Structure 1
Amino acid sequence: MQHIEERLAHLIRSVEDLSDVVARQQGEIEQLTRRVEMLMQREAGRDAEGTGGVVLADERPPHY
């Protein structure tokens, strides 16, 4: 019986540790999602302004 109790205690600890990991990862995912949304909005604003900064290979530099 003691062996089962020890195993149960280890399993409970493992579940708690995994729960902490999942909670931390969820926070990181939410933060990264907000950053991606911000970058998408910023890029959409650049596209709307026409200042995307895309340089084409056959385009002359402005100093010519």
Structure 2
Amino acid sequence: MSAMNSSTLSIKKEEEIERIDIDYLISDVLIIKAESVKDKKIFNYADYLEKQLLKIKNKKAVLE
């Protein structure tokens, strides 16, 4: 069974509030539940997070 992690990111800009809930599995699955009018921004951020998670996993693999 894969380890499950969860993060919540809240962004407040002036009168606009965005909330992004991020659940990710160590097995390269990234699940995002988003509440925002800026869906494209969220998915761009998801791509960024996915790349960062892969970097972390690769570093752990090298250390092991």
The question of a shared fold, defined as TM-score above 0.5 by the shorter chain, is answered with no
**Structure with more relative contact order (C-alpha pairs < 8 Å, separation 6 or more):** 2
Superposition TM-score tier, normalisation by shorter sequence: 0.3 to 0.5
TM-score by length of 2: 0.42
More strand by share: 2
More helix by share: 1
Greater gyration radius: 1
TM-score by length of 1: 0.42
